[in-house]
Amino acid sequence: MALLMTGCASTSPSSPAPSVAPTEVPTANTPSEAPGSSSQAAASASPGAGQTDTEWGRIWDTVPAGFPRFPGSNPADDAAAEPVSARFAVPGRDPQAIATWMQGALEQAHLSTVGLNGPAEDGSFVLDSAGDGTCRVQTTIAPLGDMTFISVLYGSDCPATQM
């Protein structure tokens, strides 16, 4: 019993800081992209874009062109210190409507819903999605003041090019 308790006590209470691992990412302008097509994504994969290790898992530092973006949202890169693939700000406080919209848009982009949880005590929702193979995406929709923030963790096993 004492040996078991000693083994449990030796775990570190702190988690390591996120690390960045540079990875070459294909550009969003692939030959299969239709001429004149427009992208709703503010952040897109570009040459030299990397990946970051997070507590959730390894993510791309950007989302691909064509990643669903809620209408009226704006990039919010400076909204929090945690690493994300994309962060957007939406004027107003209706996280449930945004979560429902994001769920439908991600399903249209061939990312099936694994779970939609919320509202949490702070009014936030977490949408877990999965694509082909081991592709995972987590989208958090959280109200703060007069804004709602959408944070995306786009798993490193997901395609880096246009959806």
Strand partners, 154: 137
pLDDT of 23 over the 70 cut? no
Domains of the chain: 50-156 (3.30.310)
| Whole-Å CA distances, 131 to 7, 32, 35, 108, 124 | 38, 20, 26, 11, 23
List, for residues 31-49, the tens digit of each pLDDT value. 333 333 333 333 334 434 6
pLDDT of 80 over the 90 cut? no
- Mean of the pLDDT values across residues 121-148? 97
pTM: 0.70
CA distance 61 to 49: 6
